[in-house]
Chain A
Amino acid sequence: MKLSMLAAGLLALALGTAAQADEKPVLTVYTYDSFASKWGPGPEVKTAFEKTCGCTLKFVTAGDGAALLSRIRLEGKRTKADVVIGLDTSLTAAARKTGLFADHGPLPKLDMPVTWTDPTFVPFDWGWFAFVYDKAKVKDVPRSFEALAKSNLKIVIEDPRSSTPGLGLLLWVQKLYGDKAGEMWKRLAHNIVTVTPGWDQAYGMFLKGEADMVLSYTTSPAYHINVEHDDSKGAALFDKGNYMEIEVAGKIAGTKHPKLADAFMHFITTEAFQKLIPTTNWMYPVIKLSSPLPKGFAEYRPKISLLYPSAEVPKIKDKALAEWRDALSQ
């Protein structure tokens, strides 16, 4: 009896929302939660795109990139998404395998440290993972994993099983040390204060003084410089290179609004979209902007960019994870 009342309530609520639908076509864009949040690029992207498209842009969110992909996989061909924005290069191989995505059209000249050859996914921002530190506390900034392992610096990292930066670090060490990656993890074990489920906990703990360094992005100091006017944070650049993350968008092949979806895919690499990226997502834009990047973006650019071709990620990640777990479980 109570359950049927509940069901009636749910239905009434659902119908109430449905009644608000307006005349314009609705382009449904799946993205991760922080993209669409007040502090992410979402709200301004929506305003800018709606100015020209004669449509309504609707964001549907899932927790993060990996959750986004899970959701697409759960929905399969029945997905209501027209475009998905917010996967990254560690997920694109799996995303491609679903067969749900259509190839993209021609791209403008991209401004990235690597050449983009993916026929399906369009990059919308990119950056490097790095250990972020407090300049006042860390005087001797390590320039390699070896130096980090030799030091007594304490770090907080994220779990590759539940977080994107965590997976990035796993691939970073794997890329540099190959079969010796497990050994490197063993050497790093004494530096690791703890492993958190997500970036937000790790970064929060770092700001609380729980560790000397935290696994984050080279662009993290830029946030503190530009928003908090605080120049106390730095990002460690490693001589052998920092691992990259490239975030991408893809068009759903079965979309009911192919023209709108194409328009949005095109919009992603235009200045109107790209100029929002540096100060909302705190990542690098994929094209050269007419205005200079915010302070802090130029200071922390590693010389070498590391990145696995996305097709290789599924082949190595399980083994890399097992080595990581074994090394840190002892």
Chain B
Amino acid sequence: MARRAQPVGRRAGAAVALGLVALTLGTLGAVAWRAVGTWGLVEGLGPADWAALRFTLLQAGLSAVLSVALAVPVARALARRRFFGRRALIALMGAPFILPVIVAVLGLLSVFGRGGILNAGLAALGLAPLSIYGLHGVILGNVFFNLPLAVRLILQGWLSIPAERFRLAAALGFGPSQIARQIEGPMLREVIPGAALAIFLICLTSFAIALTLGGGPRATTIELAIYQAFRFDFDLGHAALLAALQFAISGAAMLLALRLTLPQASAAGLDRPVERWDAASPWLRAQDAVLTTLAALFLLTPLALIVTQGLPTLLSLPGIVWTAALNSLAVALASALLATAAALALALAISGPRPALYEAAGMLPLATSPLVLGTGLFLILNPVIDPSRLALPVTALSNAAMALPFGLRALVPALREVEASHGRLADALGMRGLARLRLLIVPRLRRPLGFTLGLAAALSMGDLGVVTLFAPPEGGTLPLQLYRLMGAYRMNEAAGAALLLLILSFALFWVFDRGGRADADT
């Protein structure tokens, strides 16, 4: 076919990619441009910056490796066991990922802190208390946040293995180790680099967890150094330089992950429940049960404490908090629609030739410093329009960009699957462009689209985003009110607002994710 046209146009995908580049590198450029225009040449990096770089790489690398290493056995246990409440457990275990950082940190401290239940238990047993603060605390915090994501991505990989292959393995008398080598190994090599990369990039730009749980300035990340450059030194050039460094590291990490990924020909297996004949031994059953329980305890205990601490004040929250919740809901819905449409357009472009460029554009937001993005947008918009009028739309836009990479991870493999199973039929019938999108792709991608909508809505709900830089309107957003309550000593009401935030984020995720699954024809 000399002239086999792209079945669905890539123009929308190209527009999204350009938009992302503008939003990430463009805002960085705006900050750098302003810096050079004001102060001339930018100084190089100092020893403190290099120390921050080393610590950032160390904590992000360890967190990514550990999250993925722990997620593999947990995902395997969830993939090969059926038990009551499994579906609810998988959904609930995803909750930490959508929590605002401050809520998650306080939840973690309720369990692992000096006054937490773990140390209370140790004290009751007459044992010395454990300290959460230090590198191990940073890793613990990052794993708490990112284990759910890793489990989810890897579990998807497991469920994408056609049931027929396990049947074949059972017929051939494969034991667990042979299955691991022949079937699960190749799948993991396809899934793990992407999952580890995503977590590495998330941890790269974190600073609140690192600083709070790291115990002091030795836990300085690049993002905190950017913060310092902005508000302590007001050295925009230095901030831009550090942000560029962050992009460079992300780029290197992406290249590495790309080389490690073993692309697997996707097989169009029927979506039957995965029956496993190899894992029936009592020892393996016990192992899976223990793993699932431990992971659930680790992820759910802090959540349970957030719930119990928030319940007393939940219903008596002042009206403005509810107004803020409505604002946040509106922003979350807009952001979810935007993120999903953009992720779909980009995923379509990625399924065509030269996917690497589009893939990279899709990962850019993960490497972006929210502070630089917000400041850059401010610099760009300020001469044109009063930024305070755009606070909510800009928040929706930046939240959508931040959620897009996760949607992409869910959509791209699913899209490949659809094209592999029904692409030729659609080609043969001449289904192209919008018709193909409407009649084939969207209906076949309901599950990952629902997941993307849900995740984007939930992430947006919990994200403070750039709203503070843009002078929020009356009411602000729910995370902003949460911070305001804390800033006004009202820690109990803040706990109620945190619970409200948790409930709304989770409900949004649940509704969309379930909606995508309901009567999905397999």
Contacts and interface: CB of A to CB of B under 8 A. Distances in A.
Are chains A and B touching in the complex at the 8 Å CB cutoff?
A: yes
A205 B488 contact: no
Interface in B473-496: 480, 483-491, 494
Contacts of A67: 231, 468-469
Interface in B66-115: 102, 105-106, 109-110, 113-115
B207 A203 contact: no
A204 B489 CA distance: 8
A274 B231 CA distance: 29
A161 B48 contact: no
Contacts of B133: 193-194
Contacts of B218: 328-330
Contacts of A317: 232
B217 interface: yes
A213 to B, nearest CB: 13
Contact of B483 (A69, A200, A329): A200
A13 B393 contact: yes
A17 B378 CA distance: 18
A39 to B, nearest CB: 4
B271 interface: no
Nearest to B209: A197
B516 to A, nearest CB: 21
Interface stretch (A57-65, A142-150, A253-261): A57-65
B114 A154 contact: yes
Interface in B205-257: 207-208, 211-218, 220, 224, 227-228, 230-234
Interface in B489-517: 489-491, 494
Interface string B314-330: 00001010000000000
Interface stretch (A72-80, A175-183, A286-294): A72-80
Interface string A26-67: 000000011001111000000000000000000011110011
Contact of B389 (A17, A69, A211, A330): A17
Contact of A1 (B12, B232, B382, B491): B12
Interface stretch (B155-163, B174-182, B337-345): B337-345
Given A1-B15, A60-B471, A210-B113, A34 B488 contact: yes
A136 interface: no
Given A1-B11, A67-B231, A74-B379, A197 B471 contact: no
A66 B379 CA distance: 17
Interface residues of B, number: 71
Nearest to A154: B114
B383 interface: yes
A73 B236 CA distance: 11
A94 to B, nearest CB: 7
A207 interface: yes
A209 B115 contact: yes
B106 A204 contact: yes
Contact of B215 (A63, A69, A193, A318): A193
A131 B471 CA distance: 32
Contact of B224 (A13, A75, A162, A208): A162
Contacts of A189: 216
A10 interface: yes
Interface string A193-223: 1111101110111011111000000001001
Interface string B402-428: 000000000000000000000000000
B41 interface: no
A60 B230 CA distance: 20
Contact of A14 (B106, B230, B389, B486): B389
A116 B213 CA distance: 40
B232 to A, nearest CB: 5
Contact of A197 (B113, B207, B488, B489): B207
A208 B345 contact: no
A13 B318 CA distance: 27
B468 A63 contact: yes
A28 B217 CA distance: 38
Interface in A247-286: 282
Given A194-B214, A211-B114, A37 B489 contact: no
A160 B12 CA distance: 45
Given A161-B228, A208-B109, A209-B115, A192 B491 contact: no
Contact of B489 (A3, A94, A167, A223): A223
A2 B216 contact: no
B16 A321 contact: no
B19 interface: yes
A39 B472 contact: no
B397 interface: yes
B15 A3 contact: yes
A6 B338 contact: yes
A49 B485 CA distance: 25
Contact of A227 (B208, B341, B489): B489
B159 to A, nearest CB: 31
Which one of A3, A69, A199 has the greatest number of beta carbons of chain B within 10 Å?
A: A3
A233 to B, nearest CB: 10
B164 interface: no
A74 B211 contact: no
A66 B232 contact: yes
A6 B334 CA distance: 10
B263 to A, nearest CB: 29
Given A39-B490, A193-B114, A210-B115, A74 B378 contact: yes
Contacts of B390: 10, 13-14
Contacts of A75: 382
B385 A14 contact: yes
A200 B487 contact: yes
B389 A13 contact: yes
A33 B468 contact: yes
Contacts of B385: 14
A328 B393 contact: no
Given A192-B216, A209-B115, 8 more contacts: A33-B472, A62-B468, A69-B234, A162-B224, A162-B227, A205-B113, A210-B109, A325-B217
Interface of A: 1-3, 6, 9-10, 13-14, 17-18, 33-34, 37-40, 60-63, 66-67, 69-71, 73-75, 78, 80, 94, 154, 159-162, 167, 189, 192-197, 199-201, 203-205, 207-211, 220, 223-224, 227, 282, 317-318, 321-322, 324-325, 328-330
13 contacts: A2-B345, A33-B468, A33-B480, A33-B483, A38-B484, A39-B488, A74-B34, A159-B217, A193-B133, A197-B207, A201-B486, A210-B109, A227-B489
